[in-house]
Structure 1
């Protein structure tokens, strides 16, 4: 009897010691945080004032390493790497740089499967354009998040640090996969298709009527909606084959206008709520010369109906795209086809 009791005590002691060792090993080996790459292009988020803490002007010169170091909270949510693509105002960003950026992102996702998502820091002037271009040309379901700031980091109450933290949290979120390129500003998650800079102060980015997909809450990233139009991994556009873009202009319609004058553009996006007689004559003359015409509301909110198949000079109907976004889609469409009906098919699907 004593012998059995002794054996039981020894076994219980062994189980206790073993469970203690296993629990200690588990505590020392937590689940690894997602790895997020930050690609910096410049903008106000990299601004530095000559007189910090004022409302004065700034130069864009802070390196991304310094910007990330200023937000140590990021390390709670992701393992972060950073690389400097450019450090310029976004008004200086060109389509050639869009191509290079898209190729870089596609190469990173292809060669580095451990990267869970990418954040691109960007100036707000052209942020919505770069975001939509990437929305159409990145070939991965992994999240790409574009983020900026309306106030420089050395200014009063800067918004860059919290925007960057929110962007990293979204890029690290599994729920962000498959939703296309996202714009994260002021804790709002906006589809790149609908993102718009409405005004130059905090809270100034809008998803308009249909583009707000979710929010970054204190407890986590929450999505409520997802895009239905083609994008990213479902897109037909391949930047590996593109070397140059046809010229696509944007012209505004207004009372008394007789058109935009002489142009060598291959296509024109007309921001209009309705063309006058002189304008219509002007654009029809361009169509007879082979120029493709598309119309959208200046606000981008109209859903236009396609031209009748019987019309000799059909106009491309744009469905809820800003003029700047319609221009980008037209630029990419022209790398695939010059056929007016095929271009309309592209505008119907994206």
Structure 2
């Protein structure tokens, strides 16, 4: 259920991106060198992040299914606009392999994706900040941890067996308000819709992966509530693999039998909860610098085009990327 502010932001998102598409694209391509030059002035975290999102080290060739920048698929539209925001700075004839939507397997060829499985051999999955309007919506939270309800909350779609297992495990816990707000949810799992601001009233918010990553993870970690979750198995631009248990979030056992114990502990040790919340908030601030976010995105694509043999690397830029 969208708020007026959220609806206004969505309209602005589309209006801005449509205007960019209408504008002469050559204007953006002329700015590429300057944008890249500014990127080189960034600190080491930019290099570390771009090489984390794009782990490729060896040359490769685009597949026969690769698409030109000037012929990117428009559906889903937010993926299109998020990619075009960065890709428009490059030659429109350059080819890209990509997979829009939820990606559960590593692509067979190097491809741009929103998310990838967390395991050692995932370098073919090159992460870009796709669907950011939804996944990087991290509203402020003005309520202190101590002033929140001493209870646990979760809402979501039952699109993963883990979520159903969680609801079965916590159904008899009086301090746990968990369920699905979807109209098609079975009656025993059904709960009324709660907005983000309503969920932020609770001290403890559970994050559970769905089709891939948990959409609510980012706004939970940006709140003054404590995030409880299983260790992640997928990651996005948010770098979920880099989150540390008991540093950025509270880990739960696979059967969720420890939920009551964890809540009891943090109710008795609120300072420990607030330390984790502070670390989570600091992690979220990593993504608040829009100029840095764009610089990293440009360098991720630049590296892709160089290794795919489609552009000759500038020695200074390539030296920065490779360290």
TM-score (norm 2): 0.29
By relative contact order (CA 8 Å, sep 6+), the higher-ranking structure is 2
Task: Name the one with the larger strand percent.
Answer: 1
Say which one has the larger Rg. Answer: 1
Task: Indicate the structure with greater helix content.
Answer: 2
Q: Normalising by the residue count of structure 1, what TM-score does the alignment of the two structures yield?
A: 0.28
